[in-house]
Structure formats: C-alpha cells, structure tokens
Amino acid sequence: MIKKKDFKNNIKTILNNDNIEGLPIMQKSIISEIFKDEDLEDLFFNGFVENYKLTYGKEDDMCFCKTEDFLRRLDIIINDFIIPNPYKNENIKDSLIDLINNDVSFFDAVNFDDNDKQEILEDIHYVLSDKRIKL
C-alpha cells in the first residue's frame, strides 16, 4: 500500500533532481508550491493511489516510476496548457482542480519523448470538449 509520506518523498526527490528521465522540469517552483497546499496534495495523492491500484494492485515497487509519470504530466499540463491558455481566469490551483473534476488524466504513463506534450494536450481538449467546456 502506498503511503502519503512515501509519495511526498518521491516527489521531493524527483524535484530535487531538476529533471525526469533527462527532461527538465519546467515548472518546478509551481509544482513545489502545489504540494504545500493540502487540498491539492490530497486530491493528487488519492487520484494517484486509485490509478496505481487499478494498474499494479497492492504492490508498491513501481511507485517511484509512476510518480515520475505523474510529475511529467503535471509539468506539461501546467507549462503547456494552464499558463499559456487559461480557459478560466483563475489561479493555477483552481484550474488544476477543475481539470481533475473533469476527468483529465494526471496519472497515465508517458513515454518521456517529444510526443508526450501533444498526446497530453489532445487528451485535455478531448475530455473538455466532451464536457462542453469552452476552451
């Protein structure tokens, strides 16, 4: 079973490395601030654990790797969707909560290549257009 303390330690370790699989973390300072907010931290932790259980069950040996996937997605969503194209004139926290509530995936695997950004942005647009949210 994944413990919140281990999840937070994984995030801290990854952010301290300044990159994920050799790719720079573009919004490191924003991501660090996000995990100082207990509401967002709980939303992300609970979503992470739920998604992890569906894929890996009770084994936690893939936790660090999946945390890297999560942070890569989060970094792309903040850097390439929320900051340049805020679909609501709200802060980053509210935008993230809105995306979570509208079933945008923060937890799927990534390839750590140039296709990640395009695939994630297409997923966001697909999910949000299906929800009839004006982009």
- Give, to the nearest 10 degrees, the angle between helix 4-17 and helix 38-56: 100
Beta bridge partners of 20: 23
pLDDT score of 24? 95
Domain boundaries, the chain: 4-130
- Average pLDDT of each block of 10 consecutive residues along the chain (135 residues)? 93 96 94 93 95 87 94 94 67 87 88 88 84 50
pLDDT number for residue 125: 86
C-alpha neighbours within 13 Å on the C-beta side of residue 83: 11
CA angle 117, 5, 75 (to 5 degrees): 15
pLDDT, residue 103, reads 87
- Report the pLDDT value the prediction gives residue 89, as an integer from 0 to 100: 43
